[in-house]
Structure 1
Amino acid sequence: MGTNSWKGHVNGILYGIQFDRALDDTVVTRVADGVTGGLYPGDRAEMLEALAHALRHPGPLNDQIETHHSEESIRTFLNQLSAALTTPSPC
């Protein structure tokens, strides 16, 4: 997955969370549900791949979609989102 591809996925997530005051479990669940529900481009596997690339990226993740969240809180959130997407949802 190229930089532009994973960055597009991350930017979509950042756009969706830019007005959230805190990146808590509720936001993680909302975004994970949005990914599995088709509200974000790609499927769960594609998003997980994009998140893995993003979390390995040494540079800033909010350089195109700026939010009031710190780089550290964004990375923590993306880790939590990745874990939520990895865990099978109950049927």
Structure 2
Amino acid sequence: MASGWAKDGAVQDQIDSTVEDGIQEARERLKRNGPSLSHCEACEAPIPQARREAVPGVRLCIQCQALEDKRQGHHAGYNRRGSKDSQLR
């Protein structure tokens, strides 16, 4: 049951959109797989063998990966695009 300006099924549309965004993000990460590098492509520091085995296709050392993760940020976990109800809150 929708209320306000939201159409019927708006909540499910938001859930579906959030899931699709998560799948797309995971697919983007998979594209980066390939042979692991022995040295970080950002700072040239050696990447430990254990990390190369644990994370296939690793290209960054732990410190540079942490900076990259912080730079990219993480989404809030839900999607409000297109919801007029959420814009009023």
**TM-score where L is the length of structure 1:** 0.30
Which one has a larger percent helix, Structure 1 or Structure 2?
1
**TM-score where L is the length of structure 2:** 0.30
Higher relative contact order (CA 8 A, sep 6+): 1
